[in-house]
């Protein structure tokens, strides 16, 4: 049960700024949603309805206040093949199934996997998104009239200079209003929102996809749904972490996963495509003063108001105004300090960041870029831990017994070093392998112990393993084979 204080804090503690920020976001969502609809191969209404429904639902169900979720390029690009081969109804069904998968992922507490995403990967993700946001504006910057460049310049001047006069009104909103007025008064022939596609003029209708409910349909939509769910959750959880840092607050990642699922189910039921968190719009929202769930709700509800009631007026908004805002987002999103940090940070950290940026920008696949970054981080971490490993040895006075003291982590990356530390050809009566200062982590570590013990036994040397801690003893009891019948054949292969 939510207390009055919790509701006030999450909804009504920043009313004026949240409403104004939400209005700015709603205006910025229109060209984005239309563009993403084109990417998916569907009517602009599908992306616009999705943005309305997802933003409104996530404002209640999500785990990160002030974060904006709507139709996105990351999910839209995954629908292209499905729409071409099977049509819109299968897109809607795949959207609903993706939402179900995300709810299950949230229930399984998938949010905790964010602990394995290093800061270098996060920085690379942010920088790559900033570059992609700017690149998305290039069609509006290349081969256009000088009036377009002039209006973009005026828009950027307003965005960066107006806050010196007052911060009570978000400068991006002033940019939209001033540039729209200038374009209309001067009669400038310039691209407007209306040129992007037809805006809907009716409320979305609750429906269920018109498809056969059988296993064949499931196999058709399942691959797309899994991909959409995974990419959507990845981008949402990373964006939530970024907003956490920007606002110096925390969020519930597992609730966000469930909330994204609920929002996508609702989107599919109202004729929209799947979406997820949008870092660009989230940055606009936060920089415009948005801090609570009210800003996200305002973005969705005002977008619906714009489409249904003010559609004709919205169509007059010049594209240079929105381009100026997105350039501001790109500049503000990019971590400029990361360039200077390249000289000071460890080379491996910098390499992870750069690899993430290059992969995301080169493939325009956020999931692949983050995957490469996480994989490199894991490899570098394992390599570093493997270096903190050594084996020292002492021989008894009579020369018949040798004691090996193992220090460090015994796992897949250090197993070879562990085995190479032993002299299996030395003529000894007995050997003690002391792992009191070591820890055995995985099957490869256990197998290394097995091989060491059996190679000594094969040479006629008695072996004793001592010093196992509780966790190492447990994994050895479960997986070790050196005391089992036929262990020589099973472990050494002969």
Q: What is the pLDDT of residue 394?
A: 93
Strands (E) in 193-331, as ranges, are: 275-277
Q: Retrieve residue 26's tokens.
A: 């709603």
Query: DSSP class of residue 402?
Result: E
- pLDDT at residue number 456: 92
Q: Is 318 exposed, middle or buried (0-12, 13-18, 19+ CB in 10 A)?
A: buried
401-427 per-residue burial string, b: 16 or more CB within 10 A, e: under 16: bbbbbbebbbbebbbebbbebbeeeee
Torsion of CA 258, 260, 261, 267, to 10 degrees: 150
Residue 494 has pLDDT above 70, yes or no: no
- What is the model's pLDDT at position 449? 93
pLDDT the model gives residue 2: 61
User: Is residue 1's pLDDT more than 70?
Assistant: no
Q: 118: which 2 tokens? A: 């290093």
pLDDT reading at 407 higher than 90: yes
In our burial notation (b when 16+ CB lie closer than 10 A, e otherwise), range 346-379 reads eebbbbbbbbbbebbbeebbbbebbebbbebbee
Six-digit token string for 34: 């239309």
Residues 6+ apart with CB under 8 A from 215: none
Give the CA-trace dihedral at 241, 171, 19, 56, to 10 degrees.
-50
Which residues neighbour 85 within 8 Å (Cβ) at sequence distance 6 or greater?
none
Contacts of 179 (CB under 8 A, 6+ apart): 151, 154, 155, 158, 317, 318, 320, 321, 324
Q: Which of these ranges, 33-37, 153-157, 316-320, 475-479, has the smallest mean pLDDT?
A: 33-37
Task: Summarize the confidence of residues 53-61 as an average pLDDT.
Answer: 95
Mean pLDDT of 383-387: 85
Which two three-digit tokens encode residue 380?
């570098």
151-196: pLDDT as tens digits: 999 999 998 998 888 877 778 888 888 998 999 888 888 888 777 7
- Say if pTM beats, i.e. exceeds, 0.75: no
Rounded Cα–Cα distance for residues 274 and 479 (Å): 44
Task: Please report which confidence band the pLDDT of residue 471 belongs to, taking 50, 70 and 90 as the band edges.
Answer: very high
For residues 97 and 388, which has the higher predicted lDDT (pLDDT)?
Answer: 97
pLDDT above 70 for 373 = yes
Please name every residue paired with 438 in a beta bridge, in sequence order, or none if there are none.
408
Sheet with 430-440: strands ordered across = 389-395, 401-410, 430-440, 462-466
* Range in 22-26, 222-226, 300-304, 333-337 the model is least confident about: 333-337
Which residues, 6 or more positions from 117, have their beta carbon under 8 angstroms from its beta carbon?
238, 241, 370, 373, 374
Task: Give the total residue count for the chain.
Answer: 494
3-state SS, one letter per residue, for 404-450: EEEEEEECCCCHHHHHHCCCCCCCCCEEEEEEEEEEECCHHHHHHHH
Cβ neighbour number for residue 131 with a 10 Å cutoff: 16
Show Cβ contacts of residue 490 under 8 Å, excluding neighbours closer than 6 positions: 481, 484
In this model, does residue 96 exceed pLDDT 90? yes
The 3-state DSSP class for residue 462 equals strand
pLDDT at 389 over 70: yes
Number of helical H runs and strand E runs in the chain? 22, 6
Q: Is the per-residue pLDDT at 115 higher than 80?
A: no
Kindly give the interhelix angle for 319-333 and 15-40, rounded to the nearest 10 degrees.
Answer: 100
β partners of residue 391: 406
How large is the average pLDDT for residues 348-361? 90
Element (DSSP H or E) covering residue 401: strand 401-410
Mean per-residue pLDDT over the chain, rounded:
87
State residue 493's pLDDT score. 64
Q: Which of 31-35, 183-187, 274-278, 428-432 has the lowest mean pLDDT?
A: 31-35
Mean per-residue pLDDT, 242-263: 90
Rounded Cα distance, 432 and 454, in Å: 13
Specify which residues 276 forms β-bridges with.
70
> Torsion angle, CA of 230/232/233/234, rounded to 10 degrees?
80
């Amino acid at each position: 049960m939510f207390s009055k204080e919790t509701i006030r804090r999450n909804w009504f503690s920043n009313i004026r700024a949240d409403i104004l920020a939400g209005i700015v976001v709603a205006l910025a969502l229109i060209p984005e949603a239309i563009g993403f609809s084109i990417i998916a191969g569907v009517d602009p209404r599908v992306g616009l309805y999705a943005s309305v429904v997802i933003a409104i639902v996530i404002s209640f169900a999500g785990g990160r206040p002030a974060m904006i979720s709507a139709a996105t390029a990351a999910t839209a690009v995954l629908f292209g093949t499905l729409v071409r081969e099977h049509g819109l109804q299968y897109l809607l069904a795949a959207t609903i199934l993706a939402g179900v998968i995300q709810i299950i992922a949230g229930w399984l507490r998938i949010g905790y996997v964010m602990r394995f995403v290093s800061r270098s990967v996060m920085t690379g993700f942010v920088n790559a998104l900033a570059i992609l946001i700017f690149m998305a504006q290039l069609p509006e910057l290349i081969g256009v009239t000088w009036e377009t460049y002039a209006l973009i310049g005026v828009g950027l001047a307003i965005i960066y200079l107006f806050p010196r006069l007052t911060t009570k009104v978000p400068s991006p909103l002033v940019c939209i209003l001033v540039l729209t007025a200038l374009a209309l008064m001067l009669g400038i022939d310039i691209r407007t929102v209306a040129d992007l596609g037809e805006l809907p003029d009716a409320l979305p209708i609750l429906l269920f996809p018109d498809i056969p409910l059988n296993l064949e349909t499931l196999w058709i939509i399942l691959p797309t749904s899994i991909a959409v769910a995974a990419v959507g959750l990845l981008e949402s959880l990373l964006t939530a972490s970024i907003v956490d840092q920007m606002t110096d607050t925390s969020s519930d990642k597992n609730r966000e996963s469930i909330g994204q699922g609920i929002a996508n189910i609702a989107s599919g039921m109202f004729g929209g495509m799947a979406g997820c968190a949008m870092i660009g719009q989230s940055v606009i929202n936060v920089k415009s003063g948005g801090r609570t769930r009210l800003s996200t709700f305002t973005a969705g509800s005002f977008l619906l108001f714009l489409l249904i009631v003010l559609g004709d007026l919205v169509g007059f908004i010049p594209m240079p105004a929105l381009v100026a805002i997105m350039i501001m987002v790109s500049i503000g999103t990019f971590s400029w300090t990361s360039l200077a940090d390249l000289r000071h940070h460890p080379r491996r950290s910098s390499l992870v960041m750069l690899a993430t940026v290059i992969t995301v920008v080169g493939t325009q696949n956020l999931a692949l870029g983050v995957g490469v970054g996480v994989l490199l981080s894991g490899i570098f971490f394992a390599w570093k831990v493997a270096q903190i490993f050594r084996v020292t040895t002492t021989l008894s006075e009579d020369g018949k017994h040798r004691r090996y003291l193992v220090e460090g982590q015994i796992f897949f990356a250090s197993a070879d070093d562990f085995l190479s530390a032993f002299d299996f050809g030395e003529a000894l009566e007995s050997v003690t392998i002391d792992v009191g200062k070591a820890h055995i982590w995985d099957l490869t570590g256990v197998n290394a112990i097995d091989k060491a013990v059996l190679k000594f036994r094969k040479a006629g040397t008695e072996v004793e393993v001592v010093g196992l801690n509780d966790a190492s003893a447990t994994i050895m009891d479960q997986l070790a084979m050196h005391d089992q019948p036929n262990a020589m054949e099973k472990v050494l292969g002969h």
